[in-house]
Chains A and B, each alone.
Chain A
Amino acid sequence: MTQLGAFKKMKELMTLYYIEAKTAADKPIAWLTSGAPVEFVYAMGAIPVYPENYAAMCAAGHQSVALMEAAEAAGFSQDICAYARTDFGQDLVRGGPAGGLPAPQFLVCSTNICKTVIKWYEVVARKYQVPLFVVDTPFLHDGLTPGLVDYVVAQFRQLERFLESMLQKPFDRDRLIEVIRLSRQATGLWRKILDLGRTVPVPFTSLDAFIHIAPIVTLRGTQACVDYYQLLYDEVSGRAERRIGSVPDERYRILWDNLPIWFKMRRFEKFFDERRCALAAATYANSWGGLADFAGIQTRDAMEALAVSYLNIYINYGFEQRIRYLARLIDEFSLTGFIMHSNRSCKPYSVGMYRLKEELARLTGKPGVVIEADQNDPRVFADAQVEARLDAFIESMAPVA
């Protein structure tokens, strides 16, 4: 990955985060999905833990197979999401870089990333006999409507009552507003960092974003998160100003769609570097920028802003909206082509992708490729096959002007 001074700080931050989660005896632990409105949880002083983030860490550290095998031995089918299998595995054998996640006292999941998380969290709820709160963010077949925003805001009110009963204290609305402000600041900085991908050459690639995404997932809503992304922004914007690229002699600028392939980060970095390809934009990394759109949040409309930002997530979009968004990225980031990861573990991202690829290529005139892989399961990944497809795709691209 691009050598960044901030990296060390991020490692520290994440280590501290996991140490606190593992050792905090006085604060309740909540397990959350990556798209859950964590602001409410922070406002009440509970510690949010993210099985998705942990599963990704396990895969990036090449520890996911053993954990998935443990889950499969316990009866979980290989047909289910590899994140969920990795999570069930870490829970069974206390494995992965942090030696397993601390047990939850309650669960909050949101359907904006998939409906499958409901099944995953039902399993956890049953195992630990803890309450599960679902924040339902319906799929935007026809875009956002005021009715959908009201529906989500109404659930936020219920979430407050739920948290009051979990933590045995009144909900702290003032603290929530403060947390939302911090969350918005962090997502704003994150968005600004990702937008620097428009620079030629790219100073911070999508592969870098996948590494530096951990705090925005796990710590948004904290001051530490804001400070970290300020540090990272300063460093990356400095590179952008000085036109320092991440990829030597950048020739191609590419969009990455779908989750990273966590266990191939190093190999992909080398592969793309050698071919002078910079991954300049990624729909996945962009998914945590929504709140940035609400510059002047007031107490009155904070709930609406939050509802909109959690509904407006790329994989919660209908296809028309997805295509328009992808085309806009290709245009605004001066991209030469796009890679779509057909991800066995993520149906909302992947089902229908072949059609999206056809339409996007037609609309933008840019070549695209679909590769068959999985975010977390190396056993269904074939290097030679994937790289041969990528090579053919790279040959089909016209280099950046």
Chain B
Amino acid sequence: MFTPFYAAIADISATIRRHRDRLGRPVIGVLPAYFPLELIHAAGGYPVQLWGAGVAIDHAEAYLQPYCCSVARSVLELEMRGSAELIRAYVFTSLCDTLINLRELYRRLFDKPILGLSFPVTQTAEGRRAFLVDAAEEIIKGLEAVTGRRVSPDALRESAGQFGQLRSLQRELYRLRRERPGAVKNADFHAVLKAGFFLPVEEYGRLLESLLAGLESLEAPAGRRPRVVLSGMVFDPLEAQRLFDEIGADVVDDDFASGWRTVSKATLQVDDPVEGIAEHVFGGAPCCCIHHPKNDRHDYLVNKIRDAGADGVVFWYVKFCEPDAFDRPQLLARLKQEGIPATVVEMDLSMKSVESLRTRIQAFCEMIGGLEI
């Protein structure tokens, strides 16, 4: 059932090339996070999401210090070594200081169009709107210049519907994972999500529908295994996700920027695109990169854990991410107060082996779930 998803991510370039040639749409690489892919699709582009890769950093070393995160370093590495030739243009958001500067660095280094959408940080709806009116117009013009096609209201409505439907299918998969722990292996689950970074919306939607149909009758395995919720920015490396399957623990929900925080976004409202974009950025699950005091991460995470019936939380820390790291001590304190066990695993997307994470995850799972070894 999971074969097509694994096939899609086995050779990502081949996957993208095949679909690009078939669709005749220019490939647009989207950096983290929360850029409305609907806009790219409506402009006739083929968005692919770049959440970093497990490659050795060689060329990118010349431009990004070792204290930059491996998401930024690996994405730059791929472009510099010529592995991203399929990408016609890049789109950035103002997610963090590193990505804001990376957008500038790309403008200096590469001839490809470098587009961006800065998110307003202000709290009032009027303030956001005032900022986004110009920002939305600019990004749409930029996309139209890349694809040579206008973003018509009809096209936008069509794309919003497709992506909205896609995320709703992903949410079904999340529901299934939550309600039937262990029915889907953790590595398989993340392979499905990851395939969605690179497959075109139509193709991915079809695959998800058939997957969900196939999973419908699947029961959770008998017996209760330790149940965890994962929290972090990116869920990669995939091999590290496999560790939970090997250890015998069930991931029942997550709070990943590349996972639920994106999947939870509602269908883009297109009657008023500016309002729609604001809602897309600020709506859905809270994120450490989106200042939004009314959408509190603490209550959110506690509720998520309770709702999922989880035994504990693993903070999935991809090194040097300041927004993620700043929040953690207070989150840990809150979880402690609530009697929810938690642990932190540190990693780097370019790590050669994920084995070093195994002991820590295993010890934690034993502690929370009486796991026998």
20 A-B pairs besides A119-B323, A119-B326, A352-B63 with CB distance below 8 A are: A76-B329, A77-B325, A79-B321, A79-B325, A81-B322, A84-B326, A120-B326, A123-B329, A134-B291, A139-B118, A141-B103, A141-B116, A147-B134, A150-B130, A344-B65, A347-B96, A351-B102, A352-B101, A353-B65, A355-B63
Contact status A351-B65, CB under 8 Å? yes
Chain B residue contacts of A134, Cβ below 8 A: 121-123, 291
Per-residue A-contact encoding for B85-103, CB less than 8 Å = 1, 0 else: 0000000001011101111
Query: In the complex, how many angstroms separate the beta carbon of A135 from the nearest chain B beta carbon?
Result: 8
Q: How far is the CA of A258 from the CA of B136 in the complex (A)?
A: 32
Establish whether residues A76 and B109, one from each chain, have CB atoms under 8 Å apart when the complex forms: no
Tell me how far the C-beta of A303 lies from the nearest C-beta in chain B, rounded to whole angstroms.
Answer: 15
Q: Is B330 an interface residue (CB 8 A)?
A: yes
Within 8 Å by CB of A80, from B127, B131, B325, lies B325
Residue in B120, B317, B320 whose CB lies within 8 Å of A151: B120
The answer to whether B257 has its CB under 8 Å from any CB of chain A is no
Q: State the Cβ distance, A76 to closest chain B Cβ, in Å.
A: 6
Per-residue contact bits, chain B 53-87, to A (CB 8 Å; 1 contact, 0 not): 00000000011110110001000000000000000
* Smallest beta-carbon distance B218→chain A, Å: 39
Contact of A116 among B97, B107, B123 (CB under 8 A): B97
Is the pair A138, B120 in contact by a Cβ cutoff of 8 Å? yes
Say yes or no for B217: interface residue by CB 8 A criterion.
Answer: no
Q: What are the 4 closest A-B residue pairs judged by CB atoms, nearest first?
A: A75-B329, A119-B326, A351-B101, A136-B121
Contacting residue for B97 out of A114, A125, A318, CB 8 A: A114
Chain A residues contacting B328 (CB-CB under 8 Å) are 75, 77
Asked if A119 and B121 make an inter-chain contact with CB atoms under 8 angstroms apart, the answer reads no
Q: Is A127 an interface residue (CB 8 A)?
A: yes
Interface size classification for chain B: 35 or more
**Most-contacted residue by chain B among A75, A126, A320, A351 (CB, 10 A):** A351
A: interface residue count bin: 35 or more
30 chain-A/chain-B pairs, Cβ below 8 angstroms: A75-B328, A77-B317, A77-B325, A77-B328, A79-B67, A79-B319, A79-B325, A80-B325, A115-B96, A115-B97, A115-B121, A123-B329, A125-B293, A132-B293, A134-B123, A136-B120, A136-B131, A138-B94, A138-B118, A139-B118, A141-B103, A147-B134, A151-B127, A154-B130, A318-B104, A344-B65, A348-B97, A351-B97, A352-B108, A355-B105
Measured between C-beta atoms, what is the minimum distance from B11 to chain A in Å? 31
- Give the shortest distance, in Å, between B109 (CB) and chain A (any CB): 7
B329 touches A74 (CB 8 A): yes
**CB proximity of A191 to chain B, nearest CB, Å:** 26
Give min CB distance, A259 to chain B, whole Å.
14
- Tell me whether B120 and A80 are in contact (CB under 8 A): no
Q: Is A342 an interface residue (CB 8 A)?
A: yes
Interface residues of B (CB under 8 A from A): 62-65, 67-68, 72, 94, 96-98, 100-105, 107-109, 116, 118, 120-124, 126-127, 130-131, 133-134, 288, 291, 293, 317, 319-323, 325-330, 332-333
Chain A residue at minimal CB-CB distance from B291: A118
Chain B at the A interface: SS class: helix
Q: Are B97 and A119 in contact (CB under 8 A)?
A: no
Cβ of A111 < 8 Å from any Cβ of B?
Answer: yes
| A293 at the binding interface (Cβ < 8 Å) | no
- Whether A158 and B127, one on each chain, are in contact in the complex, defined by CB atoms closer than 8 angstroms, is yes
Pair A136/B325 contact, Cβ less than 8 Å: no
Q: Are B322 and A141 neighbours in the complex by a CB distance under 8 Å?
A: no
Q: Are A139 and B325 in contact (CB under 8 A)?
A: no
Contact residues in B for A320 (Cβ distance below 8 Å): 107
Chain B residue numbers with a CB within 8 Å of A150 are 130
List chain A residues, Cβ under 8 A from B293: 125, 132
Contact (Cβ within 8 A) B105 A126: no
The answer, yes or no, to whether A7 is at the interface (CB within 8 Å) is: no
